[in-house]
Structure 1
């Protein structure tokens, strides 16, 4: 796209739409796995069933990953939020045996369509980031819809993020080395919203970057006019695998977000200067219903001069690396997460180092 002033390479409308052409690798995977053997997020009209399926999937992930090495410790803690509700958070960090100085502070929020999921689903990311950066990684829970609708879950996330910053020293973290917020899917929505709120409410210590994996933000009424022409994935990928347009409407009906609120969309034009946002690492999936939300968000930040990296994965569905971990693209995505976070931390890791850290038992 012509006329932009940032550093991010731009894709044309046709190039963006071509991202939804199924990859040869993913097509081969589908050919080799009958529908009954394919992962599914379940029937979202069955809230309890969806939650139970998510818990079972996370349990299988944790079993596959096995126990953390003895240079790492995993604990949990309770964080009390504004109305007395208690968030259960996992903490992954170097153990005393590792004899490492305090590292960066990273807070990650799990996926689950605003209505399911647990912090343990973030364990592979947490361990990898501890191995690479000596980080302290906190993964808090938040209340789920439909019992707890917008803005309760994002307020929970804000309160737990503040708690992490306030308790950095006792967590053996040093935010001066980096204070990153991140997440996938629902967490990918939370991350930019929290990055904006951190500016508006002067979070101390300040965030130094945010990672948003397959984020959702927009309705056709809230897409910046400049990018309306390229925002097509909600119609192009309406029948997408894992989460289709009908599924999204069910999830939104549970969560009931205000699409024009900065607590759902970090770039709503209500006087906030987007240029104040921390650097961002954004990931989008080509076959995803919400692909173009992340692309438009990235371009908007880039226009404002915010350092941003965008990774677009052609021909694969929403959160593909979590549901199809045997794909080469999934392994690439996990390495990209490590290198993207390294970039946010103003450092680098090579591909082999990133793969060894992120893909252990993955």
Structure 2
């Protein structure tokens, strides 16, 4: 659930990403607006309960929505709170436990309706996307016919010998086709395991998408450096695995600072293969490091970038379909440094 949607539902004041917001019926409590500590947004205080009582004896209730966001209904008191020092607060801030639960249930129910509408909308318009994908495939075939007229022993040779305009056209259309292909997974997660596994060279797969995204790297003056790549043997993967490098490299470009490099390492460990994709930029906040892999979650760093919060969720789904994993790590100090995504895929033969 997004901030604006939450604002339209919550009757009580709340905190989101450290910012205090008024509710529909209640303004922020003066004791909260003047608070410098805001211990109430420390999620470790909610490990075994859904509320926290601060040093001012005010209660805050954590609301974790289905898409991974956390909101904190703050500055409230229970009707049963009888501490004499609390009499200074207006009666409006004294609430019944049942009313709090009703609001929390309402928020979760509304979010469920919102998610259902999003999926229904995608399904209703899926035929349109399918038509666009078919058209893009037709354009790709036309571009391939033109490329095949060039000199070269292989298609890759002929592509490299193409005019810049034709080279860029082919890469752009191929990239569009791949993006449209991810809609299949969004509509039906089972599509991740569609078709049989086949031997795929992970380095060649990542190298292909780094080439398709060449124009994106040019816009930000980024370079891609490879580490220990090319040594990896083919591994049995579902065809949908091809979306993983698209997501990781595209994200690395999108959230990288300009004039930097993207580091890609592909390593073989005998019984597994791992991929590390690293870029320099603003760190993901510690409170969001796990949430960024959740469906529809868009972290603070993503607010100025287009998207609906699906990429890393699809990446995680792809890894789990192969009994693997994906994790986020940061390397550096302060707010900026290397953002590293690590993928681990066991080498399974079936």
TM-score normalised per structure 2: 0.29
Quick check: which one's helix share is greater? 2
**Greater relative contact order, per chain length (Cα 8 Å cut-off, separation 6+):** 1
Higher alpha-carbon Rg: 2
Quick check: which one's strand share is greater? 2
